[in-house]
Amino acid sequence: GNSVTQMEGPVTLSEEAFLTINCTYTATGYPSLFWYVQYPGEGLQLLLKATKADDKGSNKGFEATYRKETTSFHLEKGSVQVSDSAVYFCALSAMIYNQGGKLIFGQGTELSVKP
């Protein structure tokens, strides 16, 4: 079946450090891949997405590239800020006709950025 595996947290970085959060997936077919972010006390928000192999999703300085050969979608940011402290979820959507694009989530990775 479909599944998503993320690196375990928490990840603690200093401001302006480089961030990588690893995500690998198992899926049949050609899923779409997503990164969602959850700020404290809030619901999840879509951060970026990619719908086919070699696509790069980007938003707010974050990037992730859909790598079919390694079944990965690692999240990166060149210089993190304190405001990036949140929980990050990798997810995939295997769009199924008339069943919606149900998302399968990884376990989440908590990021804490210190000044």
Partner 1 sequence: NAGVTQTPKFRILKIGQSMTLQCTQDMNHNYMYWYRQDPGMGLKLIYYSVGAGITDKGEVPNGYNVSRSTTEDFPLRLELAAPSQTSVYFCASSYPGQRNEKLFFGSGTQLSVL
Among 40, 69, 99, 115, the residue binding partner 1 under the rule CB under 8 A is 99
How many residues would you count in the chain?
115
Q: x/- binding map, residues 18-37, to partner 1, per CB under 8 A?
A: --------------x---x-
- Segment interacting with partner 1, rule: CB under 8 A, options 18-26, 66-74, 78-86, 92-100: 92-100
Is the bond preceding residue 10 a cis peptide, omega within 30 degrees?
yes
Distance from C-alpha of 41 to C-alpha of 19, rounded to nearest angstrom: 23
Classified as helix, coil or strand, 68 is coil
Tokens describing residue 47: 């951060």
Please report, as ranges, the residues that interact with partner 1 according to CB under 8 A. 4, 32, 36, 41-46, 49, 51, 89, 93, 95, 98-103, 105-108
